[in-house]
A and B are shown apart, each in its own frame.
Chain A
Amino acid sequence: MSVVVVGAGPAGIRAVERLVAAGLRPVWIEEAPDAGGRVFQKPPPGFARSASVLYGADHARASALHAAHAALREHTDWRPGTMVWNIRPGPALLDVQGPDGGHESLGYERLILCTGAMDRVVPIPGWTQPGVTALGAAQIALKTQGLALGSRVALCGTGPLLLLLAWQLTKAGAPPALVLESADWPGMLRPGLAWNIPAALRGLGWMAGLRRAGVVVRRGAVPLSVAPGCEALVWRDRRGREQRTAVDAVALGWGLKPETQLADLAGARFAFDALQRLWLPARDPAGRCSVPGVYLAGDGASIGGSVVAELAGARAALALLEDAGLRPDPLESITLDRALAREARFRRALESAFPYPHALAAGMDDATLLCRCEAITAGEMRRSAAPELNRGKALTRVGMGRCQGRLCGPPAAEVLAAAMGCDIAEIGRLRGQMPVKPVVLR
């Protein structure tokens, strides 16, 4: 049986672990040069910080995952630096480009997609300028390159990553100049957060640490624009007053969004998730999507974080083994299902406590560049008066650029739905198109 696992983050590693334990030798594809995913990405060779410095409280899990990968790779057809840019469900083929630029098509009988996630943004005037990055970018720069993106960085967004990054920068000696959290009390207080007391306490610890360090954290606050040259951030405080803060870098990110393009190309049916305000591939609790033989796990299917990704990766592999008649231990599946259900309750509370600020996206000025790939404004999307997002894309080219709508997709849906006066679910989602990322030709 030919099994392919795409992704070597927490979900992919735990999936491959179960497959190898069952005697399979999967093809294991990872776009990055090494395993760990974005959350536990290793710096390139030559960097010296220890795992406990790099991954903080999660360092034991990070090291365990790295060790698991190191032990597993020789039992798989390990292909780092390899990008899957298309899936053809009919012949069951993956089109991939290897690290040397060579192309290949790989067949699969069963497929586990652990494609990870990226930042979810709201475009604001000035956001395409140098100095403005995604929130995740500022964390990757610190973790894998030892950089602070400026000496006066403003962090804008919501949820755990915002506070964690602010705390990591502070500990590294580069405290942010300003932290804007769009959520506010009392909405951030959700009883469901008690489903994961250690995580909730960790968040409170970051808040206390930032307060001690004198970092300015404003809740109920959102950025309005980045001044020319990225010299200042104009923002709105919780009382609706406009403020201006001198900065030299700005990072934006209101939670994460799954990388669902490959699931889409594989033929998965999507369903609207009202809490995340996103269309996501539908799957059963074990990770089976609507296409037999295709399984989804981790943040690439639905945002859950790295703990959920480990559980879901393992569970998806067990589902694959069950479906293939390889009879894995049913007790392990039951244990994983219970753990996933518990984590899901916590996750729902987190999503409610730190929602995507959709009104900010829906209300962006006509002149704001909505699509940074093709430099298309929100006004052009509104004027398209398209009844559905892919129609809006065809009329305006929003989402047709190099990033294939990864960044502009969610805010474009908010802008168009508000302009058309319809529900966000009705406006639809940008369909995945191959190549899901630019392919280098030579």
Chain B
Amino acid sequence: MTPLRLLDQNRPMLDFSLDGEAVQARAGDTLLTAILASGAGHVRQSEFGDGPRAGFCWMGACQDCFVLVEGMGARRACGTLVTAGMAVRRR
């Protein structure tokens, strides 16, 4: 799934890294937005072998969008704003 950047997208660009690769985002993106809108498709793998996950509720309730942020540990991608230079890893 790749969300469409529809409205309010005239925000400064910034770079962060996803699994070591440089990715562009916009200031004000959550990590969930930044990762999915980049075309990366998912934010984590299910621990139970049933495939990739990309969050579900977008409101901090379902706990299905955890990513690892360098220096911050496990974070809900839906509730964490991306910042320049952030190093994010998917599990």
Question: Chain A residues in contact with chain B, CB under 8 A?
Answer: 31-32, 38, 43-49, 101, 118-119, 128-134, 136-137, 140-142, 145-151, 172-174, 230, 248-249, 259, 369, 372-375, 401-403, 406-407, 437-438, 440, 442
Contacts and interface: CB of A to CB of B under 8 A. Distances in A.
Interface of B: 1-12, 27-30, 33, 36-37, 41-42, 46, 48-64, 66, 73-75, 79, 81
A31 B78 CA distance: 13
Nearest to A147: B3
A142 B6 contact: yes
Contact of B62 (A48, A101, A134, A173): A134
Given A148-B3, A374-B48, A133 B63 contact: no
A299 B75 CA distance: 26
B6 A369 contact: no
Contacts of A48: 8, 10
- The A interface is mostly helix, strand or loop, or mixed, namely loop
Contact of B58 (A140, A146, A373): A140
A11 B37 CA distance: 34
Contacts of A129: 51-52, 54
A134 B33 CA distance: 15
A44 B61 contact: no
14 contacts: A38-B59, A118-B57, A118-B61, A129-B51, A130-B52, A130-B54, A141-B3, A174-B4, A230-B1, A375-B48, A375-B49, A407-B61, A438-B66, A438-B74
Contact of B8 (A137, A140, A146, A148): A146
Contact of A136 (B4, B9, B33, B57): B57
Contact of B5 (A140, A147, A442): A147
A128 B63 contact: no
A187 B41 CA distance: 40
A179 to B, nearest CB: 18
Contacts of B64: 372-373, 402-403
